Amino acid sequence: MRYDIGQFLKEPVGSVREYEVDTEIVTDSGDTEHVVGRLSLGRLNRSIWVRGRLKAQVGGMCSRCLTPLKQLVTLPIDEMFEVKSPLHMRPEPTGDGEEAEFRIGDDHVLDLEEVIRQSIIVNAPMKSLCSQDCKVICSVCGSNKNEQSCNCEVRTVNPVWNRLAELLPPSGE
């Protein structure tokens, strides 16, 4: 996801370029996600504004039964890239003491991989489900109740009451 924008920086402010995206991005988990969509690069005075809407098939697993799954996720992209050394402009200090998060270096290459990777992380669902009626994994035997039923007796007791349970006579007496 690297674009040489050296010639684009010579164009007047307000110029726009459109790019089709069809690439693979490696996430922090080591998974490779396929990303497609369209990006628009806008030329500003001392920066490039990147906007677009991408889509990715994001891998994960069901939070109830741990079945691997893929989900389609929309990735809105809206970022400014500060030009470190414009070809025909003098760099001016911003005066606010803050550094831009994303910069375009002296090589005039715009690298969007980190922006897209961060967008995947932010927009991926926190709790994915394989289906709305997922039946979870049995907490006793560990079987996936979507695939097979089990006859385990699941008894949940609030730990707050454990001390009182000790006072009860053992069952069967």
Rounded-to-integer distance, Cα 82 and Cα 101, Å = 8
User: What amino acid is encoded at 98 in this protein?
Assistant: E
pLDDT at 75: 94
**Per-residue pLDDT tens over the stretch 77-114:** 999 998 875 444 444 444 454 444 677 877 888 888 88
DSSP of the chain, one letter per residue? -EEE-TTGGGSPTT-EEEEEEEEEEE-TTS-EEEEEEEEEEEE-SSEEEEEEEEEEEEEEE-TTT--EEEEEEEEEEEEEEEESS-SSS-----SS-PPPSSEE-TT-EEE-HHHHHHHHHHHS-SS--S-TT---B-TTT--BTTT-----------GGGHHHHTTSPPTT-
pLDDT at 41: 94
pLDDT above 70 for 59: yes
State the Cα torsion 6-56-124-81 to the nearest 10°.
10
CB contact at 8 A, 104 and 81: yes
pLDDT at 86: 45
pLDDT at 124: 87
Mean pLDDT of the chain: 83
CB contact at 8 A, 158 and 88: no
Q: How confident is the model at residue 169 (pLDDT cuts 50, 70, 90)?
A: confident
Which of 23, 26, 30, 32 is CA-nearest to residue 2? Answer: 23
Burial class (CB in 10 A: 0-12, 13-18, 19+), 150: middle
Rounded-to-integer distance, Cα 97 and Cα 2, Å = 28
pLDDT at 45: 85
**Per-residue pLDDT tens over the stretch 11-54:** 899 999 999 999 988 877 777 889 999 999 999 988 899 999 99
pLDDT at 54: 95
pTM given for the model = 0.69
pLDDT at 49: 92
pLDDT at 96: 52
Return the SS3 of 105: coil
